[in-house]
């Protein structure tokens, strides 16, 4: 029996503050381009089935009850109370929250209060730069303000995160761009943008990455299925190899988020490069009943001291619950099987479980630093 | 106990009409470039072992009997009678038959008669175009006749299928080619071709794809290991992303065939785009004893309303049997395990089994339309 | 109960002759770029856990004992005696040894003596060329001496091996380079190199590959995770497709080593091309408790007569032990399960086990030729 008493969710978002109907709830179960196909529903997915398995009992219903019944009960309790019950039932004791998404999502402080847990902020580089651009009159002031903002963020956040892979693809030139190059790219972006325009210029994306690396804070890189993007194979983490090599020895940790279906590649990088770590967890929310296998695939090549749990949850507290429960169950099943087969000792399995659940994240993000 | 009472084989071919010896039978077990290596036999493959498992009992022999004994019994019964016993023992009640392969294969009507089932036609775009070219005197008449033929096919067929990935690779420009571009490409192809030459020009392939999309009939796209081709990674369905995005909202369904070993990518596209569906089944015939795992990998990301069974069988009725039996057994094992673990409810599992086995295909191909 | 009485390790290296401390032993468990991350150890990997499972009992300790205790016992016995106990406990009866690595590693003769087994040499093409260059005064003599050395090696070695994928990537032009092209590339390489410089010019790498093909000896190609390289996706064996097609029918066997995480692609090539074979085994040392699954993935597409066992072990005799034990256990579990499920007959399973363990290697490398 492998136990994981405490969970650090190393990457998630806040939850929605508004009451949800069946359709709006369903839309948050998955990242799609367009509504469900006629005759189908997003509840008929691994995520939908996992929500129906784990969440109804936390609201006093039987597992696998019909979506409409679950939603009715959720509205009956109200978004606040159902959020409290769900987050407190997840087993997560620390949330690291990426605050860089649009929409009315709870901030780290509210996550802590609602979930009776600790919460810390992750700063999304691209949003930071877009916000700085919105309030900077000139390219010079944009670049100066950006440097200052990254510096200020490094003082209070636990990590930076980047969606460069989704915006442009991970096949970025590995070295830091020179000042003239950055200035030129900023000129072009500034000239062409309206307020709120997305930053997707590869030179500016690289400038952000290297600014983060220079700060010394861990840098989380979205890879694989983390977010809907241009084309998924352009987010294969193996494309980061040269960037990873260029940042070796600089004392900044890199954390590859999501990874799936390229999680074996992400695990490979964590195995080869001392400063690279891999997420496990966010892929589990998507793959549901297959969580144990996906987790086991990550455990093939990644050193056990380099694997970190997360939920990647966004919008629905149900996704935090599902991420945490699937991870715990999958970890217990995978490691328990290896112990039963004699491949691992029980003591090792318990030690490794603690590392993945919280120990590695506490070390990488310095959560125990005063 | 998960049951799948009726199977719609959404993609297969007819069977050979001639008696087969050991060597010719063996050659149809696999797609190879050249004869088996000295000292090896294609019976020593997952497909070969699966045929030996499932087919001998349908001809009155014990499972796993030696290939020579099986072939002797097959000849003793005759190709017609053994074909009847095999197809009727497969559990398939509807065959959707791609008639676009060379060789003396049975047509949909004969498949229906032999298998005591229904059968409908799938039209292969590239063969249609080659046939039109063979009977058109000029490029003008070719293009006009092609438009007419596509229109006529759409009236009686249930789907179009394309092997553009095998002929050229799936990294095709996503937008429809302009009329001048099509005309130029047709000029060049017409000038250079002999009768029976293969169509592999990327502009003409795109013209065919868009002609099919315009017809409104579902369009099946070969991806992954469907057929021996130039280089397998050029058939990764993720390369279709931009084409998929370009065809969104046009009310034409796309079905990604085969997929393996890129089936997780195909499943991803089915998860993101409402009009994309994925095949499961053809990969099972190739992977035999591993069918449950391959099926489960497809079930990770693909919404359950978007997954369709097929055998992809060609030439040997044994392959229809193996595809159907492996699918049924794999589905029962995968879903049954999830029910036993509490991850899924039994009612959901039975409902999903029916969707994959026939329901989704009936909806996508409009098989219940009068 | 599937038995594999004798194992031919079709690809490995010699072992270190010096006593090892905890840190130097740890460094040989994995291929990394840099020391373990602070707070982590390479013992906390699948390879580390597998070593702790299988090796302590061969030195009289309990499984899973602490690394320091194991290393103390190893030093107490001495490097020679512990090497004897380990290699003789591996179950390997024939070692095919790649002698082309730097470092003080035992040669085939010593492997045979220490392991009470047979041993034969595999010649690494790139090292052969570098050694010839070191002793050739001119480009003309280099090319002439190289031809002679390849010819001489073919007379005593059982195979050639190439790390062209690691040095340059496997996306090499498929055809043999012309004499002028080779001469020009050799000129440039000769002009720029110091003694001991690595050969990574693509024209010269292709010249080596084709020289090996012409010799008729089996040619082993590193693919996937075999060795740390430039970027892992450039070693996807599917990139070899055109080279494979170009060498078909020449009566020279190709063997794809390692493969993982692209082992399904390697298996595909073995399924399509008569002269292509795939390694299984080296990936198992890396993936430890997951060995059964990785092996099963190779068994999906690769014909059973084309799959060859190896350990890929290097430096530590512990890795030969782990490779052999993991393979035997994984093979027994995978095939045993298929027999239990009725998918395979027991007789077939035993026959296939013998093929993978030794029979295929004996045939491909002509080990029974007088």
B296 and A CB contact within 8 Å: yes
A1 falls in which pLDDT band (50, 70, 90)? Answer: confident
The string of pLDDT tens digits covering residues B25-84 is 999 999 899 999 999 999 999 999 999 999 999 999 999 999 999 999 999 999 999 999
Determine which of A239, A299, A300 to mutate to test the interface with C (most C C-beta atoms within 10 Å): A300
Task: Give pLDDT, residue B226.
Answer: 64
Helices within chain C (DSSP H only): 22-27, 46-54, 67-77, 79-88, 108-115, 125-134, 139-156, 164-167, 179-192, 202-215, 241-246, 263-272, 282-287, 291-301, 317-341, 346-354, 360-364
What mean pLDDT comes out for the span C224-239?
Answer: 85
Asked whether the beta carbons of residue A290 and residue B299 sit closer than 8 angstroms, the reply is yes
- Whether the per-residue pLDDT at B4 is higher than 90: the answer is no
A40 and B CB contact within 8 Å: yes
Percent pLDDT > 70 in chain B is: 98
Q: Using an 8 Å Cβ cutoff, are B51 and B63 in contact?
A: no
B193 falls in which pLDDT band (50, 70, 90)? Answer: confident
Task: Give pLDDT, residue A226.
Answer: 64
Q: Residue C183 carries which DSSP code?
A: H
Task: Give pLDDT, residue C228.
Answer: 65
What residue in B sits closest to A32 (Cα-Cα)?
B272
Q: Using an 8 Å Cβ cutoff, are C351 and B41 in contact?
A: no
The string of pLDDT tens digits covering residues A153-163 is 999 999 999 99
Percent pLDDT > 90 in chain A is: 91
Q: Hey, which chains touch A, using 3+ CB pairs under 8 Å?
A: B, C
Q: Using an 8 Å Cβ cutoff, are C232 and C224 in contact?
A: yes
The 3-state DSSP class for residue C316 equals coil
A124 and C CB contact within 8 Å: no
Q: Domain residue spans in chain B?
A: 7-15+90-364, 20-77
Task: Give pLDDT, residue A228.
Answer: 65
What mean pLDDT comes out for the span A76-84?
Answer: 98
Q: Give the span between the Cα atoms of C8 and A194, in whole angstroms.
A: 67
Chain C residues lying within 8 Å of A345, measured CB to CB: 63-64
The string of pLDDT tens digits covering residues C119-175 is 999 999 999 999 999 999 899 999 999 999 999 999 999 999 999 999 999 999 999
| Direct distance between the N- and C-terminal alpha carbons of chain C, in angstroms, rounded to an integer | 33
The string of pLDDT tens digits covering residues C128-144 is 999 999 999 899 999 99
Strand A118-124 relative to strand B7-12, pairing: unpaired
Q: Residue C60 carries which DSSP code?
A: T
Average pLDDT, chain A: 95
Look at the pTM and tell me if it is higher than 0.90: yes
Average pLDDT, chain C: 95
- Whether the per-residue pLDDT at B196 is higher than 70: the answer is no
Q: With helix as H, strand as E and coil as C, how does C104-134 read? A: CECCHHHHHHHHCCEEEEEEEHHHHHHHHHH
Task: Give pLDDT, residue B5.
Answer: 79
What residue in C sits closest to B43 (Cα-Cα)?
C303
What mean pLDDT comes out for the span C78-89?
Answer: 98
B45 and C CB contact within 8 Å: yes
The string of pLDDT tens digits covering residues B243-272 is 999 999 999 999 999 999 999 999 999 999
**CATH H-level superfamily of C7-15+90-364:** Metal-dependent hydrolases (3.20.20.140)
Choice among A3-17, A275-289, B218-232 with the minimum mean pLDDT: B218-232
B232 and C CB contact within 8 Å: yes
Nearest Cα neighbor of A121 from A153, A151, A96 is A96
The string of pLDDT tens digits covering residues B86-113 is 999 999 999 999 999 988 899 999 999 9
C53 and A CB contact within 8 Å: yes
Asked whether the bond before C141 is cis by omega within 30 degrees of 0, the reply is: no
Determine which of C42, C43, C49 to mutate to test the interface with A (most A C-beta atoms within 10 Å): C49
Choice among B225-229, C210-214, C344-348 with the minimum mean pLDDT: B225-229
A105 falls in which pLDDT band (50, 70, 90)? Answer: very high
What residue in B sits closest to C271 (Cα-Cα)?
B32
Q: Hey, which chains touch C, using 3+ CB pairs under 8 Å?
A: A, B
Asked whether the beta carbons of residue A305 and residue C32 sit closer than 8 angstroms, the reply is no
The 3-state DSSP class for residue B41 equals coil
C55 and A CB contact within 8 Å: no
- Whether the per-residue pLDDT at B184 is higher than 80: the answer is yes
B2 falls in which pLDDT band (50, 70, 90)? Answer: confident
Helices within B177-290 (DSSP H only): 179-192, 202-215, 241-246, 263-272, 282-287
What mean pLDDT comes out for the span B268-285?
Answer: 95
Residues 242-261 of A with CB under 8 A from B: 260-261
The 3-state DSSP class for residue C285 equals helix
Asked whether the beta carbons of residue C34 and residue A338 sit closer than 8 angstroms, the reply is no
Asked whether the beta carbons of residue C34 and residue A239 sit closer than 8 angstroms, the reply is no
B227 falls in which pLDDT band (50, 70, 90)? Answer: low
Asked whether the beta carbons of residue A232 and residue B264 sit closer than 8 angstroms, the reply is no
What residue in B sits closest to C359 (Cα-Cα)?
B39
The string of pLDDT tens digits covering residues A214-257 is 999 999 999 998 666 688 999 999 999 999 999 999 999 999 99
What mean pLDDT comes out for the span B203-225?
Answer: 97
What mean pLDDT comes out for the span A13-30?
Answer: 96
Q: With helix as H, strand as E and coil as C, how does C133-182 read? A: HHCCCCHHHHHHHHHHHHHHHHHHCCEEEECHHHHCCCCCCCCCCCHHHH
Chain A residues lying within 8 Å of B241, measured CB to CB: 230-232
A236 CA: distance to closest CA in chain C (Å) = 10
């Amino acid at each position: 029996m492998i136990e994981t008493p405490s969970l650090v969710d190393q990457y998630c978002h806040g939850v929605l503050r508004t009451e949800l109907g069946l359709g709006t709830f369903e839309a948050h179960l998955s990242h799609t381009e367009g509504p469900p196909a006629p005759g189908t529903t997003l509840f008929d997915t691994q995520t939908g089935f996992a929500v129906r398995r784990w969440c109804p009992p936390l609201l006093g219903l039987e597992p696998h009850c019909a979506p409409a019944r679950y939603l009715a009960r959720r509205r009956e309790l109200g978004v606040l109370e159902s959020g409290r019950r769900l987050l407190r039932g997840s087993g997560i004791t620390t949330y690291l929250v990426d605050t860089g998404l649009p929409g009315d999502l709870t901030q780290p402080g509210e996550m802590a209060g609602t979930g009776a847990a600790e919460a810390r902020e992750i700063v999304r580089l691209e949003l930071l730069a877009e916000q700085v651009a919105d309030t900077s009159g000139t390219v010079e002031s944009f670049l100066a303000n950006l440097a200052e903002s990254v510096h200020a963020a490094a003082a209070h956040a636990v990590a930076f995160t980047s969606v460069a892979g989704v915006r442009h693809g991970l096949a970025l030139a590995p070295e830091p761009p020179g000042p003239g190059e950055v200035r030129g790219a900023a000129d072009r972006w500034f000239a062409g943008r309206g307020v709120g325009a997305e930053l997707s210029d590869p030179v500016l994306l690289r400038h952000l990455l290297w600014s983060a690396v220079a700060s010394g804070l861990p840098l989380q890189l979205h890879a694989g299925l983390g977010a809907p993007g241009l084309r998924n194979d352009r987010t294969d983490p193996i494309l980061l190899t040269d960037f990873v090599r260029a940042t070796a020895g600089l004392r900044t940790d890199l954390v590859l988020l999501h990874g799936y279906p390229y999680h074996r590649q992400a695990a490979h990088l964590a195995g080869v490069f001392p400063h690279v770590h891999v997420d496990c967890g966010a892929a589990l929310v998507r793959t549901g009943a297959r969580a144990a296998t996906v987790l086991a695939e990550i455990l093939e090549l990644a050193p056990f001291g380099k694997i970190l749990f997360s939920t990647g949850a966004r919008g629905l507290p149900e996704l935090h619950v599902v991420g945490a429960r699937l991870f715990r169950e999958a970890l217990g099943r995978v490691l328990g099987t290896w112990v039963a087969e004699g491949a691992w000792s029980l003591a090792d399995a318990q030690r490794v479980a603690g590392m993945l659940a919280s120990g590695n994240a506490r070390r990488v993000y310095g959560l125990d630093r005063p």
